[in-house]
Amino acid sequence: MQQEASQCAEMIKKANAIALLSGAGMSTNAGIPDFRGPQGLYKRAGIPDPERIFDIEYFYRDPSLFYSFHRELLKALDAAKPTFAHFFFAALEKKGKLLGIVTQNIDALHQRAGSRKVYEIHGGIWESHCTKCGKAFDYETSKRMTFEEEIPRCDNCGGVIKPDIVFFGEPVKHIDECFDLARKADFFFVVGSSLVVTPAAMIPSATSGEIVVVNKGEVSEFYLPSSRVALRVDADIDEFFRSVNEELKLL
Ligand code: CNA
């Protein structure tokens, strides 16, 4: 891993416009489990049919399934803190090296680490809206309602409230900006993603720069332009970026 970290550090030194696509693996060391793993949130919530949790059609029929899961997610988020890798990418932006981040995560840990230019392609939990009248609810209000009521309802019209997370069947957010970022990047990181969820998995293909993939386990190569993958690191994300940082001394 040390050799790969040195190679990565050299590439960062030469790059001027770095972009990052991050996924759930970026936050597992922060204590936010993935969805389907042995310790995953689907299992903790004790839900027999987890695929339906983020199905928008199902949400409109029965929002209670989503909310029983969401309460578990909110508890995990309360306890979570950004990891070394989150701080590393925030430091790259501060140094003027990083153009921006596309994240598939809804946990806002990039922002909490200090990153400014973050596109949450699958939305986030920080705002919620009434599905009937569109009234907005801030994080603290919607969180309180989520723990007080089985299904939080709008105080204006009684409609069901939904956090601004992108469900299956809903369009993703900021897609043009995400592809634009990839096009402008001269060096593209894919970190902690299996690259199976589209259209996020297609974004690296837009860059003309070299790509570095850091992920433990399998990464789908279906949309990945393999000729541009300069480095494929199969290691723990935080261990790897600590090694890279030993050479760059950003943190
Ligand atoms: P994924 O498909 O679950 O892939 C995550 C990858 O990260 C897997 O290949 C893991 O092996 C790998 N991984 C996990 N921990 C580490 C680690 N410490 N070091 C190195 N590799 C690691 O997740 P994707 O993000 O690719 O896409 C799936 C969904 C899950 C996205 O839409 C996410 O929004 C969604 N999700 C988000 C969160 C979050 O907000 N933190 C948590 C769980 C799921």
In this prediction, residue 41 carries a pLDDT of: 66
Q: Is 115's C-beta closer than 6 angstroms to any atom of ligand 1? A: no
Closest residue by CA, ligand 1 atom 22:
25
Task: Based on the fold, state whether residues 101 and 219 are members of the same structural domain.
Answer: yes
pLDDT at 38 over 70: no
Question: How do 123-130 and 161-165 pair as beta strands?
Answer: antiparallel
Residue 33 is predicted with a pLDDT of: 79
Residue type, 192: G
- Residue 84's pLDDT band (cuts 50, 70, 90): very high
The string of pLDDT tens digits covering residues 92-135 is 999 999 999 999 999 999 999 999 999 999 999 889 999 999 99
Q: Note the pLDDT of residue 217.
A: 87
What does 120-137 look like in DSSP terms, one character per residue? ETTEEEEEEEETTT--EE
Confidence band of 44 (pLDDT split at 50, 70, 90) = low
The residue-averaged pLDDT of 29-58 equals 76
Asked if the model's pLDDT at residue 39 lies above 90, the reply is no
Mean pLDDT of 131-155: 97
Q: Which two tokens stand for residue 106?
A: 């809804």
Tell whether 64 and 93 lie within a shared domain.
Answer: no
Mean pLDDT (whole number) for 205-231 = 94
Same domain, 113 and 18: yes
The angle subtended at Cα 118 by Cα 117 and Cα 124, nearest 5°, is 145
Q: Where are the beta strands (DSSP E) in the chain?
A: 18-22, 98-103, 118-120, 123-130, 136-138, 161-165, 187-191, 210-214, 229-233
Q: Is 28 in the pocket of ligand 1 (CB under 6 A)?
A: yes
Mutation to probe ligand 1, out of 172, 193, 244 (largest number of atoms < 8 A from CB): 193
**Mean pLDDT, residues 233-243 taken together:** 97
Q: Residue 148's CB: how many other CB atoms inside 10 A?
A: 8
Q: 113 and 207: one domain?
A: yes
pLDDT interval class at 52 (50, 70, 90):
confident
| Shared domain check, 226 and 205 | yes
CA-derived radius of gyration, the chain:
19
The boundaries of the domain holding residue 65 are 41-79+126-165
Best mutation site among 34, 75, 77, 86 for ligand 1 pocket (most ligand atoms within 8 Å of CB): 34
CATH number, domain with residue 225: 3.40.50.1220
- The residues that are catalytic are 122
36 belongs to a structural domain: no
Q: Is 104 in the pocket of ligand 1 (CB under 6 A)?
A: yes
Regarding whether 237 and 133 lie in a shared domain, the answer is no
In this model, does residue 43 exceed pLDDT 80? no
CB 137 within 8 A of CB 127: yes
**Predicted local distance difference test score (pLDDT) of residue 69:** 87
Same domain, yes or no: 118 and 185: yes
Task: Verify whether ligand 1 is closer than 6 Å to residue 206 (CB atom).
Answer: no
For CA atoms 166, 171, 174, 178, the dihedral sign is positive
Question: What's the pLDDT score for residue 37?
Answer: 58
Residues 112 and 224 in one domain: yes
User: 61 CA distance to ligand 1 centroid (A)?
Assistant: 28
- Predicted pLDDT at 105: 95
| Per-residue pLDDT tens over the stretch 172-184 | 999 999 999 999 9
Checking if the pLDDT of 60 tops 80, the result is: yes
In the predicted structure, residue 42 carries a pLDDT above the cut 70:
no
Alpha-carbon distance 250 to 246, whole Å?
8
Tell whether ligand 1 has an atom less than 6 A from the beta carbon of residue 98.
no
Q: Are residues 15 and 138 in the same domain?
A: no
| Two structure tokens written together for 67 | 């909310």
CATH number at residue 131: 3.30.1600.10
Whether pLDDT at 223 is above 90:
yes
| Per-residue pLDDT at 220 | 93
**Shared domain check, 95 and 144:** no
- pLDDT above 90 for 40: no
pLDDT interval class at 27 (50, 70, 90) = very high
pTM of the model: 0.93
